[in-house]
Amino acid sequence: MNANEKLIVALDVPTFDQAIDKVKELSSTVKIFKVGSQLYTACGPKIIEKIHEAGAKVFLDLKFYDIPNTVAKVSEVVTELGVFMFNVHAAGGEQMMVAAREAADQKAAQLGIKRPIMIAVTVLTSFSQDSFHHTLNFDREIAEHVKHSALMAQNSGLDGVVASTHEIKLIRQTCGDRFVIVTPGIRPAQADVQDQKRIMTPEQAIKEGSDYLVVGRPILAAPEPEIAARLVLEKMS
């Protein structure tokens, strides 16, 4: 795969107009954009259409977590939107993930399209070991739970997980080479770390075996985002 097939730029902006400006500015270089809950709540499906019109793909990062029937229904809708990738929380359990995957499979077959890549969120990277224990009220290491969640996702027929770059090795060992690993927390050398805690450079993340790198502020907030994107791609090559 070329580097630009592995770079996902997080379109973390509040309005449709700002998102479109960034897409126009970047779409000659960037081929996949991540639409998260802020932008999707502000704009709805028209932002997905516009990204597709610009010739790029969409990772819809809405992290679905609900009863199996509800997540299955939304998975059908997301499949109809023609996105490239979307995600659910592994915490919803295998029954929820299987229902979501089966619904997306059926909808894709009905439409004669490829099912979106479906990935699971294992443990939110904002949890520390302490806050994880406190919130879930059970005594397990985060790494153990990441492993367990990745296996549940794989058993449910999902394609992969979103994970910290520091978990890549563990997930590879557990789920094998074909399991898709999507990693945020990427910071080019010298970039501002901002609120990300456990980061890696693009070159390290590729070397560790990440399949898709999610990069937001180091590109979007750069004085010249297109140049910043090209520099990240160079480091990934």
Chain residues that interact with ligand C5P, rule: CB under 6 A: 10, 12, 36, 124-125, 162, 184-185, 194, 196, 214-218
**Residue 12 C-beta: closest distance to ligand C5P, Å:** 5
Residue 85 tokens, joined:
């990738």
Residue number, 76 or 124, with CB nearest to ligand C5P? 124
Phi, psi (rounded to 5 degrees) for 188: -55, 150
Q: Which of 171, 166, 233, 232 is nearest to 199 (CA)?
A: 166
**Residue 210 carries which DSSP code?**
-
Rounded Cα gap, residues 33 and 54, in angstroms: 11
Residues 6+ away with beta carbon under 8 Å from 199: 165, 185, 186, 187, 193
**Residue 109 C-beta: closest distance to ligand C5P, Å:** 30
Residue number, 160 or 185, with CB nearest to ligand C5P? 185
Active site residue 24: no
Q: Which of 224, 227, 233 is nearest to 205 (CA)?
A: 233
User: Which of 22, 63, 107, 147 is an active site residue?
Assistant: 63
Beta bridge partners of 7: 213
Rounded Cα gap, residues 217 and 149, in angstroms: 28
SS3 at position 64: strand
**Residue 69 C-beta: closest distance to ligand C5P, Å:** 26
Phi, psi (rounded to 5 degrees) for 176: 90, 175
Residue number, 109 or 193, with CB nearest to ligand C5P? 193
Residue number, 68 or 184, with CB nearest to ligand C5P? 184
Residue number, 12 or 211, with CB nearest to ligand C5P? 12
DSSP 139-200: ---HHHHHHHHHHHHHHTT--EEE--GGGHHHHHHHH-TTSEEEE--B--TTS--TT-SS-B
Closest residue by beta carbon to ligand C5P: 216
* Residues tagged active-site: 63
